[in-house]
Chain A
Amino acid sequence: MTLSITAPSSGRTHQMADAWRRQTSLRRFYAVLGVALLLVAMFTSIWFADEANAGHFFDRLPHILDFLSWLVPKDWNDVWRALFDIASPHDTGTQEFNFPLGRSYVWGGFYIPEYFELMLTTVNVALVSTFIGFIFAVPFSFIAARNLTPHPVLRLVVKRFMELLRAFPEIVIAGLFAAIVSAGPVAAIIAIGLHSLGALGKLFYEINENIDMRAEEGLRAVGANWFERVRFAGLPQVMPNFMSYTLLRIEINVRISTIMGAVGGGGIGEELKLSISRGFGAKTLALVLLLFTTIFIIDQFSAWVRRKLVGEQAFLMGA
């Protein structure tokens, strides 16, 4: 059979071409409009941010290097000395070089350097709060999942509650509990823990809603109750994803806990804030180095474990 292409009547071709042209030009118009609006919003925002700032961008730009100059220590060895609390020969009795003061002795002459202890506090705050968030988020997420919920009304209540916790500014929770359990790491743990509960709960119930329900059907058929169905049909399917998101949450929580420290939650954040605001070059560099290394190690470790748990899927959404 020979293949014959029948050309459409030229009137119809024109019609189609016109429709296509109209469609593309409309789409192009929307794209240009969108980009233009975005640019206007961007430049207005830049102007607004600059206007509202204490120092203006172009006034301050030449002084950026001044700001870097205090950061460079007179003696680079001071960075190590600050990090490990070793007395500096430049010590003049000021706070800038009082490195050995922070030592906390554990056993005879063996001590934990101050910054390592502070870093440990920050990491512990992140770990404990992630744990609290995880423990509550697991049952909540099964209640909030459309396919597994014991009751639709309960589902709605739990879902709204988690949304509220997720959006609630952490510093307010921290501030509230600072007035109750005294300012410090415990208030930060409660605040970050509650926030993690909301954030993890949302991610978890979205995973739950996508599970294979055949296992659940099987358990239902043999008369399993809600707890048994969740435990034996739900959990095994979702656990790798849960763990992956929890590890991701640990990464985020270490950062939040650092910031919380800077506003009175204890840990390394406070020391960093003081050190930068007073212009202690060596101390700042030591702190930044320690913080950077810790976060980097935690990130890489968590990425490695997550890749083992769920493969490349863990990195697709960056969530």
Chain B
Amino acid sequence: MAAMTAGEIRAIEDRFPLLFRRPVYKRFGPLLLLAGTVLYLAYALWFFSLPQVLRDSHWERLPLFLSQWVSYDLQPEFRLDQPQITPKYPRFSALGDSPNPDWVTRNADGTFTVLIDGLAKSVTFDKTQAIITANGQTIPVALASGKPVIAGPVPDWITAHDDEVVARMGFAGEVRVTVDRVKVRKRFLGWANFVFDTRSPFFGKSTGEVVTLILSGPELKPGTSNLALAGDNIWYNAQWQHGDVWTKMLQTIVMAFLGTLLGGLVAFPLAFFAARNITPSGWLSQVLKRFFDFMRSVDMLIWALFFTRAFGPGPLAGSAAIFFTEVGTLGKTYSEALENIDDKPREGVISTGANGLLVQRYGVIPEVVPVFISQTLYQWESNTRGATIIGAVGAGGIGLKLWEAMRTNSNWANVFYMVLLTLLVVFTFDAISNFLRRKLSPTIHDYNRSQAEQV
């Protein structure tokens, strides 16, 4: 390519001043933005003292907590200082009152064997020694000398403290041996007693047995049919609290539904008075718009806390909080949609001499209703998600239950159960809302797509 002369270059520069002679703030804008962001992040690092927080954090807990979402453990304990070794299970263990699991065996020679993951990961012990097997190694621990003693080298999956030997066996569990007791933790995949808890007469029975009992068995509790009893036992399952969880879930759904619907109902007429092109007075429009801003800016949390104090904790407070916020949000979006309408249908109706109400009914509403409904559905969707958090401050619904289950750090399976329910509800409502929006206003929903196709 031939080299350009200085004159040609200048000519091109003159032709495209927007590209070649951009103002300084535009040329360095992105750079300044980047520098500002980096500076801000450095400040945030200091503000939240992130290095300190990360140093003090316990990331090793994460896999443990996550594994607890989908598993449970049993922790039998064997006292060695009593005349006879007997397994003891904690109260309310998942095995019920008289546990006799097949992975704990009393051998003929008086020793006990606990299978943690088959024979490959197990422990066999009596009062004088414990033999721990895992990872293809067999490690005897002598207990007779008043201290647990391991003869020979200690493998890295065993930690030998002065008075306790801890053998970690990964996900399957662990064994802790001291002179006077052996403690075993065995982990199972799944949720324990999800259907019937240990108090239920149906506990420990196979599905077939339960079905037979319900269909044709003798009444387990006199005066109640077995079906009703089974239903009652499931609903009031002490560990999983199905009844309570489902009621709370329904409360969350109702809060989002009521708040959004009532908000929409109130915002609908107000939006007409707030829209600049429709309102009879500009002053009223300004007042209403500031009112919408106020309702939106007083956070949902503030409304929730106030109404929780006024009505007491529960879904009524949550619904009222969402309702108040939604009046602001929907009022704002409705009035903006009204300001963007095509004015011709309205003029047409006015020219026929129709009165104010009829003008709105036939000149405006047909045009905006799909937009309104679409926006309301969108808010409904987002409020269903928001109602979960708002609940945690006492405004009803699943939020508080979730928060309380998490606070103890021991109930992660229950948390996961509630999370799954929440996800199910959110996904279902997203799908319903998407479907309705597509049905009601294909023009809006597919607007972008159709635009893209026209190119």
Give A residues with C-beta under 8 Å from B.
38, 41-42, 45-46, 48-50, 52-57, 60, 63-64, 67, 120-121, 124, 127-128, 131, 163-164, 167-172, 175-176, 178-182, 184-186, 189, 206, 209-212, 255-256, 258-260, 262-263, 269, 272-273, 276-277, 288, 291-292, 295-296, 299, 312, 315-319
Give 9 CB contacts A-B under 8 Å: A52-B316, A52-B396, A124-B48, A127-B40, A169-B402, A169-B419, A171-B406, A272-B305, A317-B375
Contacts of A312 in B (CB 8 A): 340
Report whether B300 and A259 are in contact in the complex, using a CB–CB cutoff of 8 Å: yes
User: If the complex has contacts A50-B316, A210-B452, are A131 and B423 also in contact, measured as CB distance less than 8 A?
Assistant: no
Contacts of B385 in A (CB 8 A): 167, 169
Q: Could you tell me which residues of chain B, from 258 to 317, have a CB within 8 Å of some CB in chain A?
A: 258, 261-262, 293-294, 296-302, 305-306, 309-317
Most buried by B among A167, A184, A260: A167
A76 and B391 alpha carbons, distance in the complex (Å):
32
Among the stretches B53-61, B135-143, B230-238, the one at the interface with A is: B53-61
Report whether B423 and A272 are in contact in the complex, using a CB–CB cutoff of 8 Å: no
User: If the complex has contacts A171-B388, A263-B403, A317-B378, are A45 and B300 also in contact, measured as CB distance less than 8 A?
Assistant: no
Report whether B419 and A168 are in contact in the complex, using a CB–CB cutoff of 8 Å: yes
Cβ-closest chain B residue relative to A186: B53
Contacts of B354 in A (CB 8 A): none
Contact among A38, A189, A258 with B299 in the assembled complex (CB-CB below 8 Å):
A258
A269 and B317 alpha carbons, distance in the complex (Å):
17
User: If the complex has contacts A55-B311, A63-B310, are A171 and B340 also in contact, measured as CB distance less than 8 A?
Assistant: no
A168 and B390 alpha carbons, distance in the complex (Å):
15
Contact among B302, B316, B393, B415 with A172 in the assembled complex (CB-CB below 8 Å):
B415
A46 and B323 alpha carbons, distance in the complex (Å):
12
Contacts of A258 in B (CB 8 A): 299, 301
Contact among A49, A60, A316 with B258 in the assembled complex (CB-CB below 8 Å):
A49
Rounded to whole Å, the gap between the CB of B328 and the closest CB of chain A is 11
Contact among A48, A168, A259 with B393 in the assembled complex (CB-CB below 8 Å):
A259
A296 and B291 alpha carbons, distance in the complex (Å):
12
Contacts of B388 in A (CB 8 A): 169, 171
Closest 10 CB pairs of A and B: A53-B314, A54-B312, A55-B312, A175-B406, A318-B333, A53-B316, A181-B57, A49-B315, A167-B426, A296-B297
A163 and B56 alpha carbons, distance in the complex (Å):
31
Contact among A46, A186, A209, A263 with B50 in the assembled complex (CB-CB below 8 Å):
A186
Contacts of B340 in A (CB 8 A): 312, 316
Report whether A131 and B37 are in contact in the complex, using a CB–CB cutoff of 8 Å: yes
Most buried by A among B48, B50, B385: B48
**B255 within 8 Å of A (CB atoms):** yes
Rounded to whole Å, the gap between the CB of A154 and the closest CB of chain B is 22
Rounded to whole Å, the gap between the CB of A240 and the closest CB of chain B is 13
Rounded to whole Å, the gap between the CB of B340 and the closest CB of chain A is 7
A170 and B389 alpha carbons, distance in the complex (Å):
7
Contact among B44, B57, B254, B374 with A128 in the assembled complex (CB-CB below 8 Å):
B44
* Binary contact readout B337-375 vs A (1 if CB under 8 angstroms, 0 otherwise): 100100000000000000000000000000000000011
User: If the complex has contacts A60-B311, A179-B65, are A276 and B297 also in contact, measured as CB distance less than 8 A?
Assistant: no
Contacts of B62 in A (CB 8 A): 176, 180
Report whether A171 and B309 are in contact in the complex, using a CB–CB cutoff of 8 Å: no
